[in-house]
Amino acid sequence: MAPNKPSLALFTDLYELTMAQAYWQSGETAQATFSLYIRSYPPDRGYFVLGGIQDALDYLKDLRFSEEETRYLRSLDLFDPGFLEFLLGLRFTGTVRAMDEGAIFFANEPVIEVTAPIIEAQIAETYLLNQVNLQSVLATKAARVVHAARGRPVVDFAARRAHGADTANKFARVSYMAGFTGTSNVLAGKLYEIPVFGTMAHSFVEAFPREEQALRAYAESFPDSSTFLVDTYDTLKGVRKAVPLAVEMRRRGHPLRAVRIDSGDLLDLSTRARAILNDAGLQDVEVFASGGLDEFAVGELLRAGAPISGFGVGTKVGVSADAPWTDCVYKLVEYRGLPTLKLSTGKRSLPGPKQVFRYRDQSGDYLRDVIGLAIEPPPDRDGEPLLKDVMRGGRLTNQHPPLEELRERFARDFAHLPETHKALRSPATYDVRYSQGLTDLQATAEAEIRERELGQ
Amino acid sequence: MAPNKPSLALFTDLYELTMAQAYWQSGETAQATFSLYIRSYPPDRGYFVLGGIQDALDYLKDLRFSEEETRYLRSLDLFDPGFLEFLLGLRFTGTVRAMDEGAIFFANEPVIEVTAPIIEAQIAETYLLNQVNLQSVLATKAARVVHAARGRPVVDFAARRAHGADTANKFARVSYMAGFTGTSNVLAGKLYEIPVFGTMAHSFVEAFPREEQALRAYAESFPDSSTFLVDTYDTLKGVRKAVPLAVEMRRRGHPLRAVRIDSGDLLDLSTRARAILNDAGLQDVEVFASGGLDEFAVGELLRAGAPISGFGVGTKVGVSADAPWTDCVYKLVEYRGLPTLKLSTGKRSLPGPKQVFRYRDQSGDYLRDVIGLAIEPPPDRDGEPLLKDVMRGGRLTNQHPPLEELRERFARDFAHLPETHKALRSPATYDVRYSQGLTDLQATAEAEIRERELGQ
C-alpha cells in the first residue's frame, strides 16, 4: 500500500454506517452475499467492458477506520461508543468472486460477489459501485471508439474535461486497456506506464510573430516527434505553410510525423490536406484529427472515406457523454444462508449467490451466457465460469495482472464478440438466460416473501 | 498544504510540456495572459455557477516539479536536460484575476485570467480547465435542482455514481454551496464540514426475518433520527407497517422523521402515503422521495402537487447527465503586450485581457453584463467588475472564504437572477454585450492577423 494513499473508509454513504450500527446492536451480523451488476443497457449499448475491479479489491484489502475517522463519526452524535470501538477493529475478512478486469459482460450479470459478515460487505457498497460503474462506463465508451476507428490509432485527450484529475487518470488506464494507443495525460503515463503523446496547441502558434516561425521552432526542439497543428488561422493555408518545412525536415532525415486538424469540416479538410501533402511528395506525413470527436463521428468520417490516420478523442469520450451512468447496483442476495430479494417496482433483484457461464462456438465466438446459481454445475459442460475467486479471508488470491496483459487479453476477446453487438447504434441484444436452478429459486423465494410480507 | 496531497505537476497534457521546452529553447518566455471561459450553453442552460476556483488557485500556489517527476520526464527521451533543470526550479509567479467561487456567470465571460511568463501559464491549462469545467458543471446542475425544489430540502445521494470518489466529494461541496441541505457522503461531510444524512437501504430490510423487525431495530438504534425506507416489497403496505411503529415512537417522545419512497410512481405513491399517515394522525411524519430524480422530475412532481417534503438526488445530478461537459477553454489573449486570437472555424477567440461588468436594477436584479477590456473603465459607472485580483506574485491575496459564506452569498445572489433565465427548459438568453473597446480591438487584431497570416 502506498503510504500517501488517502483513506477511503469514510467514502461511504452515511446509511451504510447507521445500518451497520443497527445490525451490530440487534445482533444481525451473520454472513451475507452481495451481488454487483448493471440492471439494463444505456442507449446504444450492447455490451459492457469491466473496469474498476482492481481498485475495488485494493479498497477491500486496505479497509480500516482510523482514530481520526472515528473521532469525526463521534462528533455526529449518532453513534454508540461501543460501535465506534468495533469499527476501529473492523477489517474485511470475506471472500470475493469477480470477473476479470477487462471482461466483456452484459446486463444483469454479476461482476462481483462479496461474501462476508454483513457489516463488512455493507460498508463497501458505495466505493465498489462508484469505481465499477465509473470505470466500466469509461472502458465501454473507449472500446466503442477503438471499434469505430478500425485499427487506426486513437489517443486519449480527455484530461481537461474528464470529471476530475483522478478520473482522467483512470480513463487513460481503461482506454489503454480497451485498445487506445496512449494518452496526452503525463501523470497517467507515469502512474500506469502508458505511452504519452502530444505536440502543440493554438496558443503556441499565436505566441510567435508568424505561424511558420512557431512550426519551425517546434521542429527544432523536437526534430523526431513533431506534429504540426495547422488550423489556428486557416487550415489549408496552414498545411501549405507546413509543406516547405516538412520537405526540409525530410531532407535532414527528421521527417514530420503528421499535421493535426482540430476544427471545421474534418472530412473535407482532411481530404484537401491529404491532397496538398501528396502533391508535395509528402505521402508519409499523416493527417491526424481531433476536436469534439466520439465513436459516432469517427465512424462517420471513416465510412465517408476521410484520409485520417489517427484520432485524438477527449471530452465526449472521457465523460461518456451519451451514457455517463448506468443503473449499476449492489444487492443483498443471501443472508444467513437464505435467499433474499426486493420487489420494488422496476428494481426487482434475483436471489442467491450466482455464477455466469459463457458459451462459445468452435472458433471461440460468443454464443450466449447463462446466469446460474453459484452452487449449480454449469447447465452443460462447455460453459466457462466467469466469476473467479479473487479474495479469500480478506486477502487477494493473486497479484493484479499487468496492464499490458489486460490490454492484450481484451483485444483477443473483443475480436470474438459478434459485430451485431458492437453496432454503434441500436446493437443487437446478446442472449443471456437464467438457469433452471435460478429460475426455481426466484419463484420460491418470491412466493415466500409475498406470503410473509404482503399476505398474498 | 496537506502533507499527503499528491503532486499534480504532471497532471498536464504532454503538449503543455513540449511547448514549454520549445518556448524555452526559442527564447519565447515573455508575459502572457490566458483567459478561461465557456464558449456556449449546453442544452437547457441559461446561466452557470462557478466552481473550482479555490482548487485552481491552490494548484497554482503549490505547483512544482520534483526530482522524481523530472526523472520520469527524462525517461521519455523527449526533453533537453537543461529544460528539465529549469522545470525543477519552476514556480508560479504570476497574477490571477478571477470571479468569486459561486458566482453566477454566462457564456463567453472570462472567469479566470492568468498573467505570467508563458511557460508558467501554459502548463496550468489542463488542471485549471479540468477543475473549473467539472465543478461549474456540477454546481450549475445542483442550483437547478435547488430551484426546482422550491425551498424543500435536497440531499446529495450521488457518491455511488459520481465519476470517482474525489469528484463525489467535490459534488457534495458545490451542491451544498448551491443550496443542498447536506450529503450522504461521510468523507465529504468530514472534509468540508457539510451536514450528513442517511438511514437505511433495502438490504437492511431484507436482512431481517420480517420488514417490521428491520424498522423496529433501526428505530431502537436511532430513536431521534429515523427515516423508514418503505418500498422494499410494496410501498403502501410498507407505509402501513410503519404506522403503528411511528405512533409508538411518538408516544415515547421520539417521533419518526419520515418515510422514504425510492421507486415506482412517486406522485401517486407519495399522495397515498401522505393520506395513510394523515389518517393515522401522523401529519408530522414527512414523505421523502428518491430514485432517479433530477431537476426535471422534481419540478414535475411539485407542479403536480406531490406532497413530498424533501428529495434525495443522486446519479443524474451527480454526473449532470443531460449536460456532462461544457466547451470550456483556456485561450491565449495577450503575449508580449500584444493581443492574440485564433480564427479556427467555430472556435474564434476574443483578444486581450478582459473585465466583466454586471449591471443591476434598483432592487439588485440582474439586467445585463458587458465584457470589456481590463484596461477600460466600466462602460458606465454602475457596472460592478466581477474579476478580482486573487493572486499576485504567485501568492493568494486573500484566504479562501468558508463554505458557509459561499453558500449564503450564492443564495442571496441567485434570488436576483430573473426567473426567465432559471427556466429548466429553454431558458431565456441573458444579455451579454461587448464593450466598444473590445469590439475595436477584436476588429484591429483580426485584420492584422488576416493580413499577416492569410494575405487578405
Which of the residue ranges A348-352, A380-384, B119-123 has the most confident prediction, judged by mean pLDDT?
B119-123
Q: Looking at residues A101-127, what average pLDDT do you find?
A: 98
Q: Looking at residues B262-266, what average pLDDT do you find?
A: 96
Write down the mean pLDDT value for chain A. Answer: 96
Residue A1 lies in a domain: no
| Domain match, A193 and A310 both | yes
**Does residue B4 surpass a pLDDT of 70?**
no
Q: State the pairing for strand pair A366-373/A432-434.
A: parallel
| Domain match, B211 and B275 both | yes
* Chain B interface disruption, residue of A37, A80, A140, A203, most B CBs within 10 A: A203
Residue A399 DSSP label: P
> Which residues of chain B are within 8 Å of residue A66 when distances are taken between CB atoms?
none
**Does residue B2 surpass a pLDDT of 60?**
no
| Domain match, A309 and A330 both | no
B106: CATH:
3.20.140.10
Confidence of residue B219 (pLDDT cuts 50, 70, 90): very high
CA distance A349 to chain B (A): 10
Cβ–Cβ contact B2 with A under 8 A: no
Length of chain B: 456
> Which residues of chain B are within 8 Å of residue A167 when distances are taken between CB atoms?
163-164, 166-167
* Contact between A226 and A245 (Cβ < 8 Å): no
| Domain match, A441 and A350 both | yes
Do A14 and B186 make contact, defined as CB atoms within 8 angstroms? Answer: yes
Q: Looking at residues A173-197, what average pLDDT do you find?
A: 98
Residue A444 one-letter amino acid: T
Last residue of a domain, one of A318, A347, A376: A318
In Å, the largest CA–CA distance within chain A is: 87
| Domain match, B239 and B283 both | yes
* Contact between A98 and A132 (Cβ < 8 Å): no
Q: Write down the pLDDT at residue A39.
A: 96
Last residue of a domain, one of A318, A337, A358: A318
Do B73 and A18 make contact, defined as CB atoms within 8 angstroms? Answer: no
Q: What is the pLDDT of residues A123-150, one digit of tens each?
A: 999 999 999 999 999 999 999 999 999 9
Q: Write down the pLDDT at residue A349.
A: 81
Do A232 and B126 make contact, defined as CB atoms within 8 angstroms? Answer: no
Residue A415 one-letter amino acid: A
| Domain match, B221 and B266 both | yes
Residue A58, domain extent:
14-138+323-454
Residue B260 lies in a domain: yes
Total number of domains constituting chain B: 2
**Does residue A1 surpass a pLDDT of 90?**
no
| Domain match, A124 and A154 both | no
**Does residue A4 surpass a pLDDT of 70?**
no
> Which residues of chain B are within 8 Å of residue A450 when distances are taken between CB atoms?
233
Confidence of residue A456 (pLDDT cuts 50, 70, 90): confident
| Domain match, B271 and B335 both | no
Q: State the pairing for strand pair A182-183/A154-156.
A: parallel
* Chain B interface disruption, residue of A206, A210, A449, most B CBs within 10 A: A206
> Which residues of chain A are within 8 Å of residue B170 when distances are taken between CB atoms?
164
Residue B224 CB contacts under 8 Å (≥ 6 apart), including other chains: B254
Q: List the one residue out of B283, B256, B287 whose CA is nearest residue B273.
A: B287
Residue A204 lies in a domain: yes
Residue A2 lies in a domain: no
Euclidean distance between CA atoms B334 and A174, whole angstroms: 38
| Domain match, B126 and B223 both | no
Euclidean distance between CA atoms B342 and B329, whole angstroms: 12
Write down the mean pLDDT value for chain B. Answer: 96
Q: Looking at residues A104-123, what average pLDDT do you find?
A: 98
CA atoms within 13 A on the CB side of B196: 29
Q: What is the pLDDT of residues B338-385, one digit of tens each?
A: 999 888 777 778 899 999 999 999 999 999 999 999 998 877 778 999
Q: Write down the pLDDT at residue B368.
A: 97
**Does residue A439 surpass a pLDDT of 90?**
yes
Q: Write down the pLDDT at residue B5.
A: 63
Residue A45 lies in a domain: yes
**Does residue A191 surpass a pLDDT of 60?**
yes
> Which residues of chain B are within 8 Å of residue A332 when distances are taken between CB atoms?
202-203, 206-207
Q: What is the pLDDT of residues A16-64, one digit of tens each?
A: 999 999 999 999 999 999 999 999 999 999 999 999 999 999 999 999 9
| Domain match, B371 and B443 both | yes
**Does residue A378 surpass a pLDDT of 80?**
no
Do A23 and B118 make contact, defined as CB atoms within 8 angstroms? Answer: no
Q: What is the pLDDT of residues B176-199, one digit of tens each?
A: 999 999 999 999 999 999 999 998
Residue A66 lies in a domain: yes
* Chain A interface disruption, residue of B7, B23, B163, B229, most A CBs within 10 A: B163
Q: Write down the pLDDT at residue A68.
A: 97
Q: From the list A133, A161, A217, which residue is nearest B325 (CB)?
A: A161
Q: Write down the pLDDT at residue A387.
A: 98
Q: Write down the pLDDT at residue A379.
A: 72
Q: Write down the pLDDT at residue B349.
A: 81
Q: Looking at residues B7-23, what average pLDDT do you find?
A: 97
In this structure, how many other beta carbons lie within 10 angstroms of the beta carbon of residue A236? 17
Q: Write down the pLDDT at residue A289.
A: 98
Please give the share of chain B, as a percent, with pLDDT higher than 90.
94
Q: What is the pLDDT of residues A199-223, one digit of tens each?
A: 899 999 999 999 999 999 999 999 9
Q: Write down the pLDDT at residue A140.
A: 98
* Chain A interface disruption, residue of B4, B12, B186, most A CBs within 10 A: B186
Cβ–Cβ contact A88 with B under 8 A: no
| Domain match, A242 and A222 both | yes
Residue B256 lies in a domain: yes
Cell of B22: 520549445
CA distance A214 to chain B (A): 9
CA distance A234 to chain B (A): 7
Cβ–Cβ contact B95 with A under 8 A: no
0.95 exceeded by pTM:
yes
Residue B2 lies in a domain: no
Q: Write down the pLDDT at residue A5.
A: 63
Q: List the one residue out of A317, A403, A328, A327 whose CA is nearest residue A141.
A: A317
In this structure, how many other beta carbons lie within 10 angstroms of the beta carbon of residue B416? 13
Q: Write down the pLDDT at residue B144.
A: 98
Q: Write down the pLDDT at residue A2.
A: 40
Nearest CA in chain A to B452: A210
Please give the share of chain A, as a percent, with pLDDT higher than 90.
94
Q: Looking at residues A431-436, what average pLDDT do you find?
A: 96
Place of cell 440487534: A26
Cβ–Cβ contact B393 with A under 8 A: no
> Which residues of chain B are within 8 Å of residue A187 when distances are taken between CB atoms?
8, 10-12
Cβ–Cβ contact B228 with A under 8 A: no
Q: Looking at residues B127-145, what average pLDDT do you find?
A: 98
Euclidean distance between CA atoms A446 and B248, whole angstroms: 31
**Does residue A358 surpass a pLDDT of 50?**
yes
* Contact between B134 and B170 (Cβ < 8 Å): yes
Residue A101 DSSP label: T
Last residue of a domain, one of A281, A298, A318: A318
**Does residue B1 surpass a pLDDT of 60?**
no
A235-294 residues touching B, CB cutoff 8 A: 235, 237, 262-265
B271: CATH:
3.20.20.70
CA distance B197 to chain A (A): 6
CA distance B364 to chain A (A): 34
Q: Write down the pLDDT at residue B345.
A: 76
Do B233 and A343 make contact, defined as CB atoms within 8 angstroms? Answer: yes
Q: List the one residue out of A195, A197, A448, A193 whose CA is nearest residue A338.
A: A448
| Domain match, B353 and B411 both | yes
Q: Write down the pLDDT at residue A348.
A: 77
* Contact between B243 and B280 (Cβ < 8 Å): yes
> Which residues of chain A are within 8 Å of residue B331 when distances are taken between CB atoms?
202-203
Q: Looking at residues A297-324, what average pLDDT do you find?
A: 98
